[in-house]
Amino acid sequence: MPISRIAIGTREEVVHPGAFKAALAEFFATLIFVYAGQGSGIAFSKLTSGGAGTPAGLVAAALAHGFGLFAAVSVAANISGGHLLGSTVACLLLRFTTGLPTGTFGLTGIGAINGLVLEIVITFGLVYTVYATAVDPKRGNLGTIAPIAIGFIVGANILFAGAFTGASMNPAVAFGPALVSFVWTDHWIYWVGPLIGGGLAGVIYELLFISHSHEQLPTTDY
């Protein structure tokens, strides 16, 4: 939602039935996304006996993440917004049900600064797409294809950056696998990069492209 419309809730809202439904919707949506995305990596590792990554594996990961995110956002958008931030629990469940380690994010063939810039760029693209298709009040019927557009940009970003950084685009996505596997190498990149990239995209779109209309404050007659 636009920055100007963000509000802090009350304690009563925490225990409201609607809040529980929203949390449950986010949980199920995150399961869908993590099982599709991380599950594809586990399946690839099993089929190749832990072999090195291949172009086919990268394409498969991009498709699995893109389709999984499309489905996850679609099923949760009307209930909770489809933010998908609970990847830690989902990764734990995935490891429990498969008995295999989940994939982790790390740099391959590039330095830390290059990886940081790459995460900034791809996260900017993702958040900018979210703003243009799901947040902008002028989106009109375009909002109906927002989950597809979001899934497409995630898949494209993975094809582009997956071989270098893993294409996290979300601190929660990187934190879940890191916590489950307890591998923290270069983990800071997956917090700093997405926070900068996402923040820049949100601020730029909010300030430049979302129209703001002046609303008269309510008055009280004495």
Please compute Rg for the chain using Cα positions.
19
- Domain extents in the chain: 16-209
pTM of model > 0.85: no
Question: Which pLDDT tens digits describe the chain residue by residue (222 residues)?
Answer: 445 555 566 666 666 777 788 888 888 888 888 888 777 777 877 777 766 667 888 888 889 888 988 998 888 888 877 777 655 445 455 555 555 555 556 777 788 999 999 999 999 999 999 999 988 888 887 778 889 999 999 999 999 888 898 888 888 788 877 887 788 888 899 999 999 999 999 999 989 988 765 555 555 554
The pLDDT value given to residue 222: 42
CATH annotation of 16-209? 1.20.1080.10
Q: Are 115 and 194 in contact (CB under 8 A)?
A: no
The pLDDT value given to residue 204: 93
The pLDDT value given to residue 88: 46
